[in-house]
Homo-oligomer: A and B are copies of this chain.
Amino acid sequence: MPSVADLTATEALSQIKSGDLTSTALVQACLDRISEREPALHAWQYLDPEHALRQASALDKAQADGEPLGRLHGLPVGIKDIINTGDMPTESGTPFFKDHQPEEDARCVAMLREAGAVIMGKTVTTELAALAPSKSRNPVNSAHTPGGSSAGSGAAVGSNMVPLALGTQTGGSVIRPGSFCGVHALKPTVGFIPRRGVTLQSHTLDTVGVYGRSVEDLALISDATSEFEAGDAFSYARAAPNLTDALSGPGSTSVKLAFWKTPGWDLADDKAQAALSDFASGLGRDCSPVEIAAAQNVSVDHKYIQAAENAHYYGPLYDRDKSLLTDDLRGRMAVALETSARDYLGAVERRDQHYRAVADVLDQFDAILCLSAAGPAAHGYASTGNPVFNGLWTYLGVPCISLPLLTIDDMPLGVQLVGKRREEAKLLQTAKWLEGRVSA
């Protein structure tokens, strides 16, 4: 049965602003969808339907009273459970933080509230946003993994439980679930969305990202959550973005994509390799193969940084009681704690060198085209999938978008586009062009 829960965020916002839909009706439709699908999908770590409806009701009243409306007025948003909420627990997927109630919202959550969003609830994260699988299931086929670590956000948007959600990426935790769950996902430039109030595991890598059901949806929520954070060395002063306006024009007509297989190519499924190669071929002269030899070892440097900074941020938990960690994370931490400062500092130093090699290509092309993941979501729950197509981009701090344009054996697979640092507007324009190009 058709439901307003199936609208994109952009469509729902338009209907709410025109008076054809109330936030309460939208939130209720989303709660109905959750009632229907949550038993199989386990997308939510914390959900209080009455609290969500109260927020919606207050927003509807504000609109009825003629108050000015925010950019996300009335839209429900799911929040990954490593992002602090002042009115809901934030457990970060670990018994260390069981029932932990933060004193205040993360800055990005506070910005969502300022924009008029309904904070729907907390979506399941893997343990401390690492690789051990969570309880969430894939919304396209619940016998498959939804990926991780933003498992619940991917599953919730993929099953139309909410039109929008926040995730975070340190390796491939925004783009991979987006690819597996068949949703639009944006991991912006590191520092684009403030990280204050987010459980940190790596200050060089941790990046807040967004999920939606269209390129416009990604722009909408990104505009509402992007801000310079003065205390964060990875943030940067800038004019407030207006990605929504950037997408409202006639759009690009001449776009050139660089098809780079990236160093993980041999680890991708045969079918994924074939699907993306065919996709690239289908773009004809708009897409050219490239090789970036100078960036062959970026994944190694990503691993050094993730391990070193994990040791710093999670070491105190490991020291306190390592039995509270999963075997998987305990094993990774044991290795991480041995990471040498020399390897770490080398990887930090090489980051800008690697980036220049990639930026040189992006001076000649509008975006790099590559796989979002090594294949569609695997059957079973043993692994959240391989982040080999994501870690290099997280390390370089560049914006990446995953578009649900491929299907393999009835499961979705994302096409990833990658842009230059701080060029979210161009990346989203290119993504919109690509969607139009392949649907034409």
Q: Which residues of A contact B (CB under 8 A)?
A: 233, 304, 307-309, 311-312, 315, 336-346, 349
Bound-state CA distance A336–B345 (Å) is: 13
Bound-state CA distance A312–B304 (Å) is: 14
Bound-state CA distance A233–B351 (Å) is: 15
Q: Which residues of B contact A339 (CB under 8 A)?
A: 340-342
Closest-CB distance, A355 to chain B (whole angstroms) = 15
Q: Which residues of B contact A337 (CB under 8 A)?
A: 340, 342
Residue of B at shortest CB range from A347? B341
Interface centre among A233, A339, A344, A346 (most CB of B within 10 A): A344
Knowing that A309-B341, A309-B345, A315-B342 are A-B contacts, what are 16 other residue pairs whose CB atoms are under 8 Å apart, sorted by A's residue number? A304-B341, A307-B341, A308-B341, A308-B342, A311-B341, A312-B341, A312-B345, A312-B346, A336-B342, A337-B340, A337-B342, A338-B340, A340-B340, A340-B341, A341-B343, A344-B345
Closest-CB distance, A125 to chain B (whole angstroms) = 23
Closest-CB distance, A278 to chain B (whole angstroms) = 42
Q: Which residues of B contact A340 (CB under 8 A)?
A: 311, 337-341
CB < 8 Å neighbour of A311 from B308, B338, B342: B342
What are some 12 contacts across the A-B interface (CB < 8 A)? A308-B341, A308-B342, A309-B345, A311-B342, A312-B342, A312-B345, A312-B349, A336-B342, A337-B340, A339-B340, A340-B341, A341-B344
Q: Which residues of B contact A345 (CB under 8 A)?
A: 308-309, 311-312, 344
Bound-state CA distance A308–B307 (Å) is: 16
Q: Which residues of B contact A342 (CB under 8 A)?
A: 308, 311-312, 315, 336-337, 339
Bound-state CA distance A343–B340 (Å) is: 9
Bound-state CA distance A307–B307 (Å) is: 19
Q: Which residues of B contact A338 (CB under 8 A)?
A: 340
Bound-state CA distance A136–B271 (Å) is: 70
Top 6 nearest A-B pairs (CB, nearest first) are A308-B341, A312-B345, A341-B344, A311-B342, A339-B341, A341-B341
Q: Which residues of B contact A307 (CB under 8 A)?
A: 341
Bound-state CA distance A291–B337 (Å) is: 34
Residue of B at shortest CB range from A312? B345
Bound-state CA distance A338–B337 (Å) is: 12
Residue of B at shortest CB range from A338? B340
Closest-CB distance, A247 to chain B (whole angstroms) = 34
Residue of B at shortest CB range from A349? B312
Closest-CB distance, A336 to chain B (whole angstroms) = 8
Bound-state CA distance A346–B311 (Å) is: 10
Interface centre among A304, A337, A338, A345 (most CB of B within 10 A): A345
Closest-CB distance, A365 to chain B (whole angstroms) = 27
Bound-state CA distance A340–B334 (Å) is: 12
Q: Which residues of B contact A336 (CB under 8 A)?
A: 342
Closest-CB distance, A312 to chain B (whole angstroms) = 4
Bound-state CA distance A399–B341 (Å) is: 27
Bound-state CA distance A365–B308 (Å) is: 39
Q: Which residues of B contact A315 (CB under 8 A)?
A: 342
Closest-CB distance, A388 to chain B (whole angstroms) = 22
Q: Which residues of B contact A346 (CB under 8 A)?
A: 312
Bound-state CA distance A344–B311 (Å) is: 11
Bound-state CA distance A341–B344 (Å) is: 6
Q: Which residues of B contact A341 (CB under 8 A)?
A: 304, 307-309, 311-312, 339-341, 343-344
Bound-state CA distance A309–B341 (Å) is: 8
Interface centre among A308, A342, A349 (most CB of B within 10 A): A342
Bound-state CA distance A344–B307 (Å) is: 13
Q: Which residues of B contact A304 (CB under 8 A)?
A: 341
